[in-house]
Structure 1
Amino acid sequence: MAILAMMLPCFAMAQIALTGKVNDNNQKPLPGATIKLKNKSTTVISDLNGAYTISNLSAGKYVLSVSYVGFKTEERTIDLSSNTTLNFNLVQLSYIADEIVVNATRASKNSATTYKNLDKTELAKNNLGQDMPYLLNQTPSVVVTSEAGAGVGYTGMRIRGSDATRINVTLNGIPLNDAESHGSFFINLPDLASSVDNIQIQRGVGTSTNGAGSFGASLNIQTTTRKDSAYAELNNTYGSYETWKNTVSVGTGMINNKFSFDGRLSRIKSDGYIDRASSNLKSFFFSGAYYGKKDLLRVNVFSGTEKTYQAWNGVPEELLQTNRTHNDFTYDNQTDNYQQDHYQMFYTRNLSPKLVANAALHYTYGRGFYEEYKKKQTLSDYGIAPVVIGNSTITQSNLVRRLWLDNDFYGVTYSLNYTPKNDLNFILGGAYNEYKGKHFDEVIWAQYANYDASKSLRHRYDDNDALKTDFNIFGRANYRIDQFNLFADLQYRRVYYSYFGKNLNNTLSQQNATLNFFNPKAGITYTINAKSNIYASVAIGNKEPNRRDFTDSNINSRPQPEHLTDIEAGYRIQATNFTAGVNGFAMLYKDQLITTGELNNVGGQTRQNVPDSYRAGIEFDGRLQLTKKLSWAATATFSRNKIKEFTEYIYDEEDKTGKTFVKSTFKNTDISYSPSVIMSSEIAYGIIKNGEIALLSKYVGKQYLNNISSDAQSLSSFFVNDIRLSYQTAFTGVKNVGLSLLINNVFSTLYESNGASYPALSEGLVSRYNVYYPQATRNFLLNLSLKF
């Protein structure tokens, strides 16, 4: 009884409820408004009548923020001591919000789509110099890797086991994926996160978007948005492996309530954990905007350059125990060099209170090369005649070559958003984009050639061009009936690709292909109450083969496009101290492209279609505010990722006819690089006022390096922990001083997050050569930021 008596005050303190309504100036309810307790990281959504409830609050002061698209966000500080009713009448903006620019390709609060939103504050916590994938590491179903081992330079990311070529990335609705390889290379835009306002990650097929088809996920990134006040920020990081990040950001705020300008300069350098895996990265970002009563005009200009020493060969298996930082390359300039310039212009106009139009023009110019030293190369392969010295004819030589890319990507995107009434919304959108790519290769030095070896040589031995056009149009409708929200999404996409490849006679000439895709989607959401809903959806996705699939085949041996049926169903809840989502998914593939080793009829080892494969699993994403100072966020994914049947071919490389090979059929094997368990945890505790310590944990289950489910070719499971310390304060003349320390892999776990396996056949015996990408042991990043 004594214990119960002692606990009664605690129960009493936890029973305070905050209720109210969110209306517009005409007292009409605003359903779906976001109500956030900023100092508790608690968020709820208003119901169909605009009502909200936040219960189980302790007495004390709270900062309440209420927002709704198209209305001015309102903040109030309230001192709670008993049950309180607090109503809001939001004022419609006299200008168009930047969020309208990306609205057409985003999922909304009641969408039957599996998604995760990250705002600038969440991204900034870990933005100490590592690449964009590492800032998303604590989100569901994500696995990240780094060639240099420490998250700077070339990094990669998989979502639900799907790599970057199957993850659609857009910047303000404009495609970022390379038109030919389909990958997204964030190394070309270093420190992009410092100019990002928010990101939406859609897992699965998601909503209709621009660019390559989404088979694993979509990253919808929105860059700098309106800031009302002028600001300046200095952000500096120093860390292990001589890692430096220096960022300067400035902004004018609103000028005459109509204009704003923002800019950023960044530099990131690192020697890398792996030997010689250095990075030298630079970037800038500039944005200017005009805000009118009915229109918005924004222009973005940004660019990035990178020089990275190659580490893409990995570490041979036999060296993992003795030399984990080994790098095969020793040539001084074995580097990748690239620059990418982006120009974007957006125009949005309110044609009427019910109709909003968006249009964007964009142009991206990329150019660069990677340089490599090659031993004992056959001169005729490079179009170089044999060298005769005395009575000797030399047909092979050591040489240095550069493989160049010079490409232009430009186009237009658009959308019309029509909302005839609060419970009905239509979006018509689409894009037309063109890509022109020049591929050319040069020998810049050779030990033996028909020239003076003391002079450099720029001998071009390969030159081919590509043209790709990508047109899509989509329509989406959302209709709310009582507690049900129905959506339908239809997309048509047409791809034309002209490239230099093999014709029916297996000789090289300009080839082309035209592909037409129809991608329908439909879903339903049931709103249980203001805090929770359930949803289900079915979506179809189609995706074209990549450049290598085309160039290494002819029209008769070319792989077929991939087809995906994605079924998603889940439950979401946003309570006072608890937010969570549970989602089940089944991704059913037809003709998924995988590497089987089989040669096509022109002798190329392109990927091959497998008739049936699937990914199925369940995902959890939640956050619990245990006390005022202690919170716990966690994610978990449990999945099966299977190929029902495929045949592996291993050829004897000494038999140039391709007639000697070993053929093996496998059934119900795991899809490579697809762990069945992925979990993350972030426990944060406010140790002092404005100071926090957080433990970030990540567990990734075993992954196979190929599709035969062999333990001998696999990545072991790993469990890695990081510690983040942060403190915020202010001084006279300085709005904020932030000090952060991130200790990565605090327990120095030895692990590899990526690898590859290469089979070989010799004298009838099969062998497999494995390489791995070790990740750094304990390392740190120390950051100081000053905001003025």
Structure 2
Amino acid sequence: MKKTTQFLLMAVVLLFSTVMMAQSTITGTIMDAELNSPLPGANVVEKGTTNGVSSDFDGKFKLETTTPTGQIVISFVGYSSVTLKFTGSTNLGNIKLTPDNSLDEVVIIGSGVIDLAEGRKTPIAVSTIKANQIQEKTGTSDLPEVLKSTPSVQSIQGGGFGEGQMFLRGFDQVNTAFLLNGQPINSPEDGRMFWSNWSGVLDVAQAVQVQRGLGSSKLAISSVGGTVNIVTKTIDRKEGGFLQQMIANDNYTKTTASYSTGLMESGWAFSALLGHWQGEGYVEDTDGQGQTYFISLGYKANDNNIFNFMITGAPQWHATSGFYNLETLLDNGRKFNGFTNNNGSYSGVNSPNLLQSGRYPAGRNIYHKPVANLSWDLTINDNSSLSTVLYASAGRGAFASTQRTGSAGSRVATYARGSNNNHNWYGLVTNYNNDLNENLSLNVGADVRLYNGIHFRSVNEFLSVNSVNASSNYNGGAYQLTEVFGGINPWNVFFNTNDDHAQRFGYDYEENINYMGVFGQLEYAKDSFSAFFQGSASTQSHIRTEFLSVASEGQSEESDKVNNPGFNVKAGASYNLNASNVVFANVGYYSRQPFHSDLFVDDRNSNQLNPFVEGNQKITGLEAGYKFLGDVVSANLNVYHTTWDNKIDYSSRDTDSNGQADEFTQTSPLKQVHMGVELEVFTRFAEGLNINGFVSVGDWKYDGNITTRTTDDTGAVISQGATSYIDGVKIGQAAQFTAGITADYEILPRLKVGANWNQYDNLYGNSDFSGAEFATEDNRGAIKLPSYDTVDAGVSYKMLLGKNDDKSLQMRVNINNVFDEVYIENSRDNIHVDSGDVAWKGVNVDNGVRFGYGRTWNFSMRYNF
């Protein structure tokens, strides 16, 4: 009996131990959240143990756990880890990992106004570049260069730091809307973007989203070509930071430091980034230097209220280059800078602000335009929320053009003339979102912008004289300029502004542009179908105040107030044929107010309204798309047709290569038609290998002829009423055929190599409409420039220095234009080749052109902690 009792007791103990030690079987499939494709080789570990497995080629895994309940941690190099609970044997289904530095690592402030495509179920033509890609590929470039592997995007590097330009579906960046955390940053005066003023934005960007065509933005913005939304860091969920040092060709160096406290238990969070850069520039005598600062202070009062204050700026100066005759560049090389060379020896210059070459530049850009915003995200209840962003910017800066005397080869620089473009800009964007039911959502909001632009000329620096005689426009008398404002230091330009009208000359005026709009969106989504309708209405007022060309000194003259209403409507629908196939179509119409620069005959010298302006611009957009989401291959196919009517074109030309525009041309209303097709393909054929590609084919032409009016920089008319025969002429500056392939391969853990190839064809000369090439009906149209292709490559390695990937040392080398391709990136002119003319690759050497950069490189080392 005793033995029987012992046996039964032992059996109970063994049975209990077996139950306590029972294993659970956890299965699932690990997916890339962006590409919706499997992630082979991902690590799956039972938390608190060394028990783990890796996912197979199809992303699948099977883990036998040591306990019946617990947690598993799923991680993959370059992706944010995921922790999941389990109870007993479980199939977790598809588990999606998001790339490192994704939006999930940040509490998005003002999310209701940022208008990312993911916030709407009905698709659009969109490409998103995340922070890790930006970090790897930026180097010394501006944002347009980072986006050049996006369909229908063309990047032009420009002659100096921050002078890059971007074209989207053939539209320049004046007519592409750029948003910073949902707030417009194109100039309200003329829509222009100056990347030199935003040179630090990529240091703080969490993601950049390119929405081609109609896009998802609800604001009434200048999005003819599309919308580029830059989302910056705000409140990081986790504590950390980095120190980075970069060096590059032409003595470029950049030092950056960043730290974030993460969201603390108190609800507060703080992030800051500081940086300094300097270099001599790829083109000779285009030296530059600047700083970047970013400060974000957030407070999460509770689950329903999040506040954030952010301020960022990029004070900088850089010397400039420009267009030169092709013959001159072929004789002197791609790095030739005629701005400086045309000014001879600069004898007699007494300045501490010489370039590394010992010369003083003919033109220098000096600006500081910080922007600050205060955001409030309010969760009202489970179905509704309110996001509000109040922002302000006080920009100060000038283009300092060197004035000189004497003959070529022995010119003396006398002073640096500053063409000042300052502003005070305030705005508010607020958006209320309500999920009316499980299928229907409503967004309504308001958009207010108050803008004061201040424009004049003054002296930035005396070089070989102590004063300058100026003539007065108001009474024909002469007066002396004896004071210097700002110099070349952007901080001095910002804090030492010229408020004395008696020390201004050339032109002196202000404008006040006030904009008020409302917008709304209704979206329906059920099962496989979704549809939306968007609309906005706005009013915009303009007042111009003249201080120089007035009846008597000390007075000012105000223009009549111009009021322009505008609106836009957009609608679309999509249908999921199945889990892998989606089709959609969108349509939109914009009645867009003319820019301030369009409204006046000469906005620098006159309050007279431009008779060419005939109401609002009219933009009609049609687009359709197909998305395929496969396990190994995914693809997007888009077609579009955009008509832009009643547009006023305003162009400037530097005729003597001194870095300052001295001819200005306005046109009667013109019409452009842009149509095309875009294909993107994403693949993941093997572990660690990504191969993506795109092809864009466009057909962009002018429709109808126009008349022009050209003035010099004093407002005097050079020509008026001339007809430019541009009907059917190809629209220039951007290639109408682009293609590219990007490949990245992780050959060893955390060691990655990559390259991208880009092809450009059907690129035409710029039509500025004032040239003789379009003076007759039998003109030969725009010249066609040679096609070209470039290859960029990079290698990166991430060395782990701590547990759980919390500390690392990351190194990156980039080589751009690996094969040193010589190519014309755009042409200012349209001079055709006639008998006896000299040509290079079919282009007349008398054309003013700009070459793309040759081979360049950069190396960075980044310590993450």
User: What is the aligned partner in structure 1 of residue 316 from structure 2?
Assistant: 306
Alignment of 1:216-235 (within 5 A): 216-235=225-244
Residue 144 (structure 1) aligned to one of 139, 155, 161: 155
User: What is the aligned partner in structure 1 of residue 393 from structure 2?
Assistant: 364
Partner amino acid for 2:796?
S
Could you tell me how far 1:355 is from its partner in structure 2?
0.7
The total of aligned residue pairs comes to 704
Structure 2 residue 798 is the aligned partner of structure 1 residue 728: yes
- Identity fraction in percent: 19
Structure 2 residue 658 is the aligned partner of structure 1 residue 613: no
Could you tell me how far 1:726 is from its partner in structure 2?
1.0
Does the CA contact (< 8 Å) of 1:213 and 1:542 recur in 2? no
Residue 346 (structure 1) aligned to one of 375, 397, 419: 375
Distance 1:485 1:545, change over 3 A: same
- How far apart, CA to CA, are the structure 1 residues paired with 2:574 and 2:795? 40
User: What is the aligned partner in structure 1 of residue 763 from structure 2?
Assistant: 703
Distance 1:470 1:37, change over 3 A: farther
Distance 1:663 1:166, change over 3 A: closer
User: What is the aligned partner in structure 2 of residue 557 from structure 1?
Assistant: 611
CA-to-aligned-CA distance 1:621-651 (integer Å, 9 cap, x gap)? 1211121132211111101001122247698
User: What is the aligned partner in structure 2 of residue 355 from structure 1?
Assistant: 384
- How far apart, CA to CA, are the structure 2 residues paired with 1:539 and 1:228? 38
User: What is the aligned partner in structure 1 of residue 253 from structure 2?
Assistant: 244
Structure 2 residue 219 is the aligned partner of structure 1 residue 205: no
Could you tell me how far 1:213 is from its partner in structure 2?
1.9
Structure 2 residue 433 is the aligned partner of structure 1 residue 417: yes
Structure 2 residue 738 is the aligned partner of structure 1 residue 678: yes
User: What is the aligned partner in structure 1 of residue 82 from structure 2?
Assistant: 75
Task: Identify the range of structure 1 (739-748 vs 611-620) with the bigger mean alpha-carbon deviation.
Answer: 611-620
Does the CA contact (< 8 Å) of 2:219 and 2:519 recur in 1? no
Residue 576 (structure 2) aligned to one of 527, 538, 542: 527
Could you tell me how far 1:585 is from its partner in structure 2?
0.3
Does the CA contact (< 8 Å) of 2:648 and 2:668 recur in 1? yes
Does the CA contact (< 8 Å) of 1:423 and 1:479 recur in 2? yes
- How far apart, CA to CA, are the structure 1 residues paired with 2:601 and 2:711? 19
- How far apart, CA to CA, are the structure 1 residues paired with 2:123 and 2:623? 8
Could you tell me how far 1:110 is from its partner in structure 2?
2.9
Does the CA contact (< 8 Å) of 2:667 and 2:708 recur in 1? no
- How far apart, CA to CA, are the structure 2 residues paired with 1:717 and 1:534? 33
Could you tell me how far 1:245 is from its partner in structure 2?
1.8
Residue 130 (structure 1) aligned to one of 116, 121, 141: 141
CA-to-aligned-CA distance 1:659-679 (integer Å, 9 cap, x gap)? 799745343111122422011
Could you tell me how far 1:18 is from its partner in structure 2?
5.3
Distance 1:422 1:372, change over 3 A: same
Alignment of 1:191-590 (within 5 A): 191-210=200-219, 212-256=221-265, 258-291=267-300, 292-311=302-321, 313-323=322-332, 324-330=334-340, 332-333=360-361, 334-375=363-404, 400-443=416-459, 459-461=503-505, 462-500=507-545, 510-552=559-601, 554-555=608-609, 557-560=611-614, 561-590=616-645
- How far apart, CA to CA, are the structure 1 residues paired with 2:315 and 2:106? 33
User: What is the aligned partner in structure 2 of residue 394 from structure 1?
Assistant: none
User: What is the aligned partner in structure 2 of residue 742 from structure 1?
Assistant: 814
Unaligned runs of 5+ in 2: 1-26, 43-54, 64-72, 98-104, 344-359, 407-412, 471-478, 486-502, 603-607, 654-661, 768-773, 833-843
Partner amino acid for 1:156?
Q
- How far apart, CA to CA, are the structure 2 residues paired with 1:563 and 1:633? 36
Does the CA contact (< 8 Å) of 1:170 and 1:220 recur in 2? yes
Partner amino acid for 2:698?
S
- How far apart, CA to CA, are the structure 2 residues paired with 1:747 and 1:625? 27
Partner amino acid for 1:645?
G
Unaligned runs of 5+ in 1: 1-16, 22-31, 42-53, 67-72, 378-396, 761-766
Does the CA contact (< 8 Å) of 1:303 and 1:341 recur in 2? yes
Distance 1:615 1:280, change over 3 A: same
Partner amino acid for 2:313?
S
Does the CA contact (< 8 Å) of 1:501 and 1:551 recur in 2? no
Residue 105 (structure 1) aligned to one of 108, 115, 135: 115
Partner SS, residue 598 of structure 2: helix
Partner SS, residue 312 of structure 2: strand
Partner SS, residue 111 of structure 1: coil
- How far apart, CA to CA, are the structure 2 residues paired with 1:138 and 1:630? 18
User: What is the aligned partner in structure 2 of residue 763 from structure 1?
Assistant: none
Structure 2 residue 862 is the aligned partner of structure 1 residue 785: yes
Does the CA contact (< 8 Å) of 1:96 and 1:296 recur in 2? no
Distance 1:575 1:18, change over 3 A: farther
Partner SS, residue 254 of structure 1: coil
Partner amino acid for 1:486?
A
Does the CA contact (< 8 Å) of 2:156 and 2:166 recur in 1? yes
User: What is the aligned partner in structure 1 of residue 849 from structure 2?
Assistant: 772
Partner SS, residue 646 of structure 2: strand
Partner amino acid for 2:565?
N
More strand by share: 1
Does the CA contact (< 8 Å) of 2:707 and 2:721 recur in 1? no
- How far apart, CA to CA, are the structure 1 residues paired with 2:439 and 2:669? 43
Distance 1:183 1:211, change over 3 A: farther
Could you tell me how far 1:592 is from its partner in structure 2?
3.0
State the Cα RMSD in Å: 4.0
- How far apart, CA to CA, are the structure 2 residues paired with 1:455 and 1:489? 56
Could you tell me how far 1:777 is from its partner in structure 2?
1.2
Does the CA contact (< 8 Å) of 1:413 and 1:429 recur in 2? yes
Partner amino acid for 1:607?
Q
- How far apart, CA to CA, are the structure 2 residues paired with 1:597 and 1:265? 36
Which is higher, the Rg of structure 1 or of structure 2? 2
Task: Identify the range of structure 1 (111-120 vs 709-718) with the bigger mean alpha-carbon deviation.
Answer: 709-718
Partner amino acid for 1:557?
P
- How far apart, CA to CA, are the structure 2 residues paired with 1:233 and 1:449? 49
Does the CA contact (< 8 Å) of 2:587 and 2:622 recur in 1? yes
CA-to-aligned-CA distance 1:357-413 (integer Å, 9 cap, x gap)? 111111111001111123579xxxxxxxxxxxxxxxxxxx97642111221101211
User: What is the aligned partner in structure 2 of residue 179 from structure 1?
Assistant: 188
Normalising by structure 2, we get a TM-score of 0.74
Task: Identify the range of structure 1 (671-680 vs 441-450) with the bigger mean alpha-carbon deviation.
Answer: 441-450
CA-to-aligned-CA distance 1:216-268 (integer Å, 9 cap, x gap)? 11111221143232112011111111111211010111211622111100122
CA-to-aligned-CA distance 1:515-536 (integer Å, 9 cap, x gap)? 1112011000001222331100
Task: Identify the range of structure 1 (743-752 vs 192-201) with the bigger mean alpha-carbon deviation.
Answer: 192-201
Partner SS, residue 128 of structure 2: strand
Distance 1:398 1:243, change over 3 A: closer
Partner SS, residue 193 of structure 1: helix
Distance 1:210 1:647, change over 3 A: closer
Partner amino acid for 1:86?
G
- How far apart, CA to CA, are the structure 2 residues paired with 1:612 and 1:660? 20
- How far apart, CA to CA, are the structure 2 residues paired with 1:705 and 1:89? 47
Partner amino acid for 1:529?
N
Alignment of 1:581-660 (within 5 A): 581-594=636-649, 605-647=664-706
Partner amino acid for 2:214?
V
Does the CA contact (< 8 Å) of 1:641 and 1:674 recur in 2? no
Normalising by structure 1, we get a TM-score of 0.81
